[in-house]
Amino acid sequence: MADERDHDEDAGEVSLDLDAQNGDLEAAMRDAVAAVEGVESGDEASSPAAPAAGEDEVSRLRRETADLRDRSMRTLADFDNFRKRSERERQDLRKYALAEVMREFLGIVDHLDLALAAAGGADDLKRGVELIHRQMLDLLRRHGVKEVKALGEPFDPAVHEAVSREEDPAVQAPTVTAELRRGYFLHDRLLRPAMVKVAVPAETPKPVADPAAP
């Protein structure tokens, strides 16, 4: 629970940092837009700087243009820095997205280490492996991984990969009769298909035409 709280706090800090960066960038953009609007409208109150005493119109416009250019460059620099920080944060999230899941898998690895180091007969080892297997399946289910139904199901090429085929007069449609490798979904997306053996209806032999028949 402490790790989850720390993770939530870190995510909150990242979110607040991004919000602050967005606020700084938006403020800089607003300043630049306001300055441009002030020059276009000729409104002295909205101009970036008031004209100095004795300053002619050309000098005033040159000074305002230089000020606008400086504001624009600062805005572009702020935006570039924001873009670089955002990209680094996305890379970090992508790089460490599985940290919590991997931490849970480490507990299963610990149990495997204990099972391998324990002294006992084959039955004890089998029971230990079965326990670890159930633990791993439970962990996968908690994270949205579920099995593809295969044995006894109608053959579905979207989720089943047929590697063997046999005729069976007892089936009316292609049916999975053996599961050679289990398939899995991640939520609603197929992670890998199930590798199966398929029984198909037996073909009825066609009658041979009698050449002597009219």
The verdict on residue 165 lying in a domain is yes
pTM of the model: 0.55
Amino acid at 24: D
The verdict on residue 183 lying in a domain is yes
Residue 29 to residue 50: CA distance in whole angstroms? 21
125 Cβ contact list (under 8 Å, min separation 6) = 115, 118
Identify any residues that bridge with 185 across adjacent strands, giving them in sequence order.
146, 190
Same domain, 149 and 120: no
**What pLDDT, on the 0 to 100 scale, is given for residue 173?**
93
For the chain (214 residues), the mean pLDDT of every run of 10, in chain order, is 47 50 58 56 48 69 87 88 90 87 90 83 85 92 94 95 93 94 95 96 70 62
**What pLDDT, on the 0 to 100 scale, is given for residue 115?**
83
* Number of domains observed in the structure of the chain: 3
What CATH number did the domain enclosing 168 receive? 2.30.22.10
DSSP β-ladder status, 160-167 and 189-192 = unpaired
- Residue matched to tokens 């398929």: 198
Domain hosting residue 113, numbered range = 98-143
Q: Which of 115, 137, 139 is nearest to 128 (CA)?
A: 115
